[in-house]
Amino acid sequence: MPSTIKVYDKTFEPYLSKVVIAERIKWMAEKLNKEYEGKRPLFIPILNGSFIFAADLFKELSIEAEVCFIKLASYKGTKSSGQVITAIGLDTELFGRHVVIVEDIVDTGKTLSEFLPQLYHQQPASLKIAALLHKPEATTYPITVDYLGFSVPNKFLLGYGLDYDGLGRNIPEIYKLVEA
């Protein structure tokens, strides 16, 4: 792992190595393999951030499992509630299915707390969240991460799918912003 990297104007330092990430994903997959055996779960990774984590996690699953990547788009609703979030690419019926949402990182929890009710509406048999990273100090919306990789401080992270203004997703490790 190189010592520090620069993206645009910001400097990042190593935080979680490839080996540490891989080990933790294996551990998460073992839990999922046990808990979803015979249930044919449907994994729903949320793009773009989760694509690398989702792929690595999925490869470690030894049970029968399906995957359907989605992208969330938010637009201004006509209701007073303001933003409405819709899922692009969700082509599978969730009724009666065991669903696992796959997220790179849960920060404030806003995205998921606004989106999950739409999924519950379809009456899945169960609905859980698997997230590689969670910033508990930043989470102000009522979100429970059922399968968690790492609990992390409220700092900006980069790499392994996480971007800074579009860049850095391809870095194979996770870096942390060096604050000036």
Please tell me what DSSP assigns to residue 149. E
Note whether 16 binds ligand IMP by CB under 6 A: no
Residues in Cβ contact with 82 at an 8 Å cutoff, skipping those fewer than 6 apart: 76
Cβ closest to ligand IMP, residue 36 vs residue 53: 53
Which residue lies nearer to ligand IMP by CB, 62 or 151?
151
DSSP strand pairing (66-67 vs 42-47): parallel
Q: Give CA separation, 35 vs 18, 29, 77, 128, 146, in Å.
A: 26, 10, 38, 11, 12
Q: Which residues contact 144 (CB under 8 A, 6 or more apart)?
A: 129
Range in contact with ligand IMP (rule: CB under 6 A) among 7-15, 32-40, 89-97, 107-115: 107-115
Q: How far is CA 180 from the centre of its chain?
A: 28
Query: What DSSP state is assigned to residue 10?
Result: E
**Contact flag: residue 150 with ligand IMP (CB under 6 A):** no
| Residues in CB range of 138: below 8 A, 6 or more apart | 107, 108, 154
Q: How far is the CB of 8 from ligand IMP (least distance, A)?
A: 13
The residue range among 3-11, 74-82, 104-112, 116-124 that interacts with ligand IMP, by the rule CB under 6 A, is: 104-112
Binding mask 33-52 for ligand IMP (x = CB under 6 A): ----------------x---
User: Minimum CB separation from ligand IMP for residue 7, in Å?
Assistant: 11
Contact call for residue 49 and Mg ion (CB under 5 A): yes
The one segment of 1-9, 77-85, 91-99, 101-109 that binds ligand IMP by CB under 6 A: 101-109
91 given a catalytic annotation: no
**In contact, 15 and 4? CB cutoff 8 Å:** no
Contacting positions for Mg ion (CB under 5 A): 49, 104
Q: Which residues are catalytic?
A: 107
